[in-house]
Structure 1
């Protein structure tokens, strides 16, 4: 675990908001020099506190107007390995996030689709045919508000 001071936390919040800003702009916003901001960013990268930079993609603008969260309970944990399921599910392009969780379900997936008919096709033809799939519960996303967490990451 890395020790973070208040400036590191503020820098993480700025990076989470817009990582495309240069170190000079980050430094000015934090009241530190550009080289100091750059050194802090490099240290956060080297220690693994920052794992790459991402672009926020507007799924609806790309034609994917439906997001569904699926709970998947595996029926045959003994016969089908978790690795087999994970390998198969991550090969489905509509599956954006795969989380192995504790609780009622074994996995939680975030799936995007063009519309409900497209989601039904993905569910029936791709997800329900995966190795070991037993029970499935779907929750359709109606709206979403993303707020930064305590250190800036959503």
Structure 2
């Protein structure tokens, strides 16, 4: 299923589920003007096609003790498939890493990571990230204020 094959009802369901995934099928059905059975089938189809990848709780970083969010830009010294695969495998295993993107431009990767404080973040970068396979250069910056965190995707 692609975005082109989604109709207005699918889009309304996706939007509603992104804002509150705990809604009952009855509530969703009423929202999109369907009876519960066809609504449930549509949701299942969206799940089975991979459009809906899962359901998650959004947690508070601050209340869980993560006071620092930082971005680490990495330049690799070796771009062989084996080294890149090893790097990616190891970075995925770091629980403090929220996201990692392979980039175009000067840096090869950008990592978004969290830590309780600056000392912990420093340890993460100096001990763990610097020792990842193929890392040549590191540049780090910190978030001073989160302006927006997209919890939803546009479905229109």
Tell whether the structures are fold-level matches, with TM greater than 0.5.
Answer: yes
Separation in structure 2 between the aligned mates of residue 7 and residue 93 of structure 1, nearest angstrom: 37
Corresponding residue to 2:37 among 35, 38, 44: 35
Q: 2:148 aligns with which of 141, 145, 148?
A: 145
Alignment of 1:58-77 (within 5 A): 58-77=60-79
Partner in structure 2 of residue 94 of structure 1: 96
CA distance in 2, matches of 1:43, 1:149: 19
1:79 Cα deviation from its structure 2 partner = 8.8
> Could you tell me how far apart the structure 1 residues matched to 2:149 and 2:81 are?
39
Greater shift after overlay, 139-148 or 12-21?
Answer: 139-148
Q: Distance in 1 between matches of 2:75 and 2:22?
A: 39
In the TM superposition, what is the alpha-carbon distance from 1:48 to its structure 2 partner?
A: 1.1
Q: Distance in 1 between matches of 2:81 and 2:28?
A: 52
- The SS at the match of 1:72 is strand
When normalised by structure 2's length, the TM-score is 0.88
How large is the Cα RMSD of the aligned pairs? 1.8
- Figure out how many residues of one structure are paired with residues of the other and give that number: 152
Please state whether the residue corresponding to 1:12 is helix, strand or coil: helix
**Structural mapping, 1:1-154, within 5 Å:** 1-2=1-2, 3-78=5-80, 81-141=83-143, 142-147=145-150, 148-151=152-155
In 2, Cα distance between equivalents of 1:63 and 1:4 = 40
- Aligned residues of 1:95 and 1:110 also touching (Cα < 8 A): yes
What displacement does 1:31 show? 2.2
Q: Secondary structure at the match of 2:136?
A: strand
Offset at 1:96? 1.7
User: Cα distance, 1:124 vs. partner?
Assistant: 0.6
User: Which sections of structure 2, spanning at least 5 residues, go unmatched?
Assistant: none
